[in-house]
Every structure is written in C-alpha cells, then in structure tokens.
Amino acid sequence: MQYKICKKCVMDETDPLIEFDEAGICNYCRDFEKIGFRQLTDEEIEQNLLSLKQKLASAKKGKYDCIIGLSGGVDSSYVALLAKKLELNPLLVHFDNGWNSELAVKNINNIVNSLQSDLHTLVVDWEEFRNLQRAYFDAGVVDIEVLTDHAIIATIYKLAEKYRIKYILSGTNISTEFVLPKSWVHSKIDLSNLKDIVSKNSRQLLKTYPTINSLKIKLYYEKLKGIRKIQPLNIINYNKEHAIKELIDVFGWRNYGRKHGESIFTKFYQNHILPTKFNIDKRKAHLSSLICSNQLSREEALMILNEPLYDKSELETDYGFVRKKLGYSKAEFDAYLERPPSSHFLYKSDLTLLAKIHKIKRKLQ
Ligand SMILES: [Zn+2]
C-alpha cells in the first residue's frame, strides 16, 4: 500500500491522525515552525547553563544537586555529561527491568565512575514484571514500554522526595524527539490504564512495582514538595551526532548501532513488534525530528528508511530470546503478532477522567 508522505519530513499516513496542508506539508512540520526553534549562540548556551547551575545551587537542600534517570542511551547519557561539565553532584537512577544489554551496563558503569556519583539501581522483581509485560501483550495494546517508563518516573519522584532533591534533569528534548504521533504511544503516567490492563489480562497483583499518577505529580510532588522537571537538552544546541562523539571522548561510551540497543526488549519492540503488529516504523518520527531541527536531510532520511529494520540472523536470535524470556511458545507469539491491535482506550484511563474535569471546568468559567 502506498502512503502519502510529507514533502518536508518523512512522516506518512501510517500515522492515522496526520494532516497535510495544500502544499503537502504535515501537521508536525507546521507545529515545529510554530515553536520558533533556532540554533543558539555560544554566549546564549553559556548563559543558559550558568543559570541552570545557579538555579540548582539555590534550591539545593541535601547532598545532591539534581536527579537523573539513566537508561544508558544517548539522551540520558548526555544529560549526565552536562552534569559533569557543570560540576554537579547528581543522584543517578537506573531501572534494571531485566532486559539491559551488556553494553548498556558497561556504559552506565563508565558514566558513574567518571562522574564519581551515586547510582541507585531499581532491580525489578522479574517474575512480577514479566507478568505485567505479558498482560500488555495479551491486551494487544501499542505502548508496552509504558511499564518501564512508568516505573522509572515513579522511582525518580520517590527518590527526589527522599533525598530532598528539587530538580529532575530529563533527557526529553525537542531537537530529536519533537515528532511523535499520539496514536503510536500512550501516556506513561496513566495509572488507571495500567492497572486495568493488568487486572483484566493477568492474575498478577502490583506488589513491588512502583506506581505514580498525574494528580500525585501535580498536587503532591510539584505543588507541595516543589519538585520540578527540567529538560537541559533544550537549552543547548543538542545534536545527536555530536553528542555521541562527545560521549565516546569523555566517558569511553560505546554506540549501540541501532536506536535503543541499550535494551534488547526495546530494540525488538521498536524494530519488529511495532512494524509487524502495528504497522509503525518509529524511525519515521525520529528521522523527521532530525529533519525539522536541521540535523539530517530528507534524502538521507529516505535512504535510512530503505534499510531493513533488522538483520535476518539478529532478528532470529532476538525473537527467540524475547519469546522465551516472556514464556511464550512460538505458536503463541506468532498468534500475538498476527492478532489485530487493541486500543488503550478500551480500558479505564486517567485521560478520560482528566478530559471530563477539563470540560466541567470550561463550563463553569
Ligand atoms: Zn512533515
């Protein structure tokens, strides 16, 4: 099937909500224009980083200047590198969900040694986490990564409170992540959705798995405890290629080759499950972000999209590894891949509740 593709980036109609204007430009490119993204001068970056350092210093209550979630991937590793440059003492937090690649563990260790920082590793109860992942598989919903992201977010806020840390430095950024279709992901803090998916598809109870929801973040952590999230990659000219070079220089960091090779699950999910079951090639969103922020030409992006998502023998190895680790037979796993997807909104959702509150608020105004 031929999909209409944006004339400026590489997003296409595999995103069911994409909208093109008369010139064939998509809504993401138009939205990107609206935010007025531009390259900063060296002076501006220096000033931004200095203000950040001062902000952290004036809010410092305990031992740490800030808290950083570290997956071992490029973005979070580069946030750690900025912390080193600014001579900060961050608490580094890593979530070991049982799927880390060996290389990710090495990269994380190198970063921790170089920064001489404390690392808190949350090691998941594997039996419990596997059952939660299986519940998401059996539900057939798109965002299986909610489980990992949710646990990291919950752990970071809990530790920030425990150690009286006021600032969370996040690797989320505009220049490499701006384009992300709503239908390809789900909210990472939709606890009602998570609980309902798990309870309807599994007998597993949430025992040790850390949870959080948007109201707790807003009312408790932000309002009451004064904890704030900052995206430092947005106050510099964050460039993926340059970032990787610097990570290699400073930390002896090693590249994973494929995006998200830091986790075998994430690699398999993005490069096989998403395209096979959901007709989603996440590279399109990622490459389109790079095109929008002038880090890549459309021609280069189209060439990259022509490359296969997986090397055949690597796919076979990863397929067997993931399937066995989750405890599925080949027939069960193939059947999963062939079943039509289900929507997260077939389950309870905080988003529905928040939308209702928003509607009532608007009526009252
Ligand atoms: Zn576009």
pLDDT value at position 108? 96
- The CA 87 to ligand 1 mean position distance, Å, reads 39
Assigned domain for 15 exists: no
Tell me the whole-structure pTM to 2 decimals: 0.94
Specify the pLDDT at position 258: 63
Residue 284 located in a structural domain: yes
Q: How far, in Å, is the centroid of ligand 1 from the Cα of 24?
A: 8
Residue-level pLDDT at 1:
75
**Phi, psi for residue 361 in degrees, rounded to 5:** -55, -45
Rg (CA), the chain: 21
Report how far ligand 1's centroid is from the alpha carbon of 200 (Å): 38
Rounded CA separation 266/269 (Å): 5
Residue 197 CA neighbour count, 13 Å, CB half: 29
Interacting residues of 226 by C-beta distance below 8 A, sequence separation 6+: 59, 166
Question: What's the CA-to-centroid distance between 294 and ligand 1, angstroms?
Answer: 13
Residue 97 belongs to domain with CATH number:
3.40.50.620
How far away, in angstroms, is 285 Cα from ligand 1 center? 9
Measured in angstroms, how far is the CA atom of residue 175 from the centroid of ligand 1? 14
266: amino acid identity, one letter: T
Q: What pLDDT does residue 364 have?
A: 75
Enter the tokens of residue 50: 């200095």
What spacing in Å lies between the alpha carbon of 185 and ligand 1's midpoint? 19
Largest CA distance in the chain: 60
Residue 2 CA to ligand 1 center (angstroms) comes to: 17
| 305 Cα: distance to centroid of ligand 1 (angstroms) | 15
Distance 32 CA to ligand 1 centre (A): 9
Question: Residue by residue, what is the 3-state secondary structure of 270-323?
Answer: HHHHHHHHHCCCCHHHHHHHHHHCCCCCHHHHHHHHHCCCCCHHHHHHHHHHHH
Q: Does any domain span residue 34?
A: no
Distance 7 CA to ligand 1 centre (A): 7
| The pLDDT of residue 23 | 97
- Using the mean position of ligand 1's atoms as its centre, give its distance from the Cα of residue 241 in Å: 22
- Cα of 308 vs centre of ligand 1, distance in Å, is 22
Q: How far is the CA of 231 from the centre of ligand 1 (A)?
A: 24
Query: Which residues lie below 8 Å from residue 96, measured CB to CB, with a gap of 6+?
Result: 121, 122, 123, 124
Which residues are placed with Cβ below 5 angstroms of ligand 1, an ion? 6, 8-9, 11, 26, 29
Domain that holds residue 104: 39-359
| Residue 282 CA, ligand 1 centroid: distance in Å | 14
Distance 297 CA to ligand 1 centre (A): 12
Compute the distance from residue 292 Cα to the ligand 1 centre, in Å: 8
Q: How many domains are contained in the chain?
A: 1
Å from CA of 179 to ligand 1 middle? 9
pLDDT in tens, the chain (365 residues): 789 999 999 999 999 999 999 999 999 999 999 999 999 999 999 999 999 999 999 999 999 999 999 999 999 999 999 999 999 999 999 999 999 988 999 999 999 999 999 999 999 999 999 999 999 999 999 999 999 999 999 999 999 999 999 999 999 999 999 999 999 999 999 999 999 999 999 999 999 999 999 999 999 999 999 999 999 999 999 999 999 999 999 999 999 876 567 899 999 999 999 999 999 999 999 999 999 999 999 999 999 999 999 999 999 999 999 999 999 999 999 999 999 999 999 999 998 877 777 777 777 77
Query: Whole-angstrom Cα distance, residue 129 to residue 121?
Result: 16
- Nearest Cα neighbor of 92 from 11, 197, 181, 171 is 171
Q: Is residue 6 part of a domain?
A: no
- Distance from the CA of 49 to the center of ligand 1, in angstroms? 31
Domain assignment present for residue 33? The answer is no
Give me ligand 1 centre to Cα 8, in Å: 5
Q: Is 275 a domain residue?
A: yes
In a domain, 11, yes or no: no
pLDDT of the residue at 357: 74
User: Is 14 within a domain?
Assistant: no
- Residue 35 CA to ligand 1 centre (angstroms): 15
CB 16 within 8 A of CB 183: yes
| CA of 183 relative to ligand 1 center, distance in Å | 16
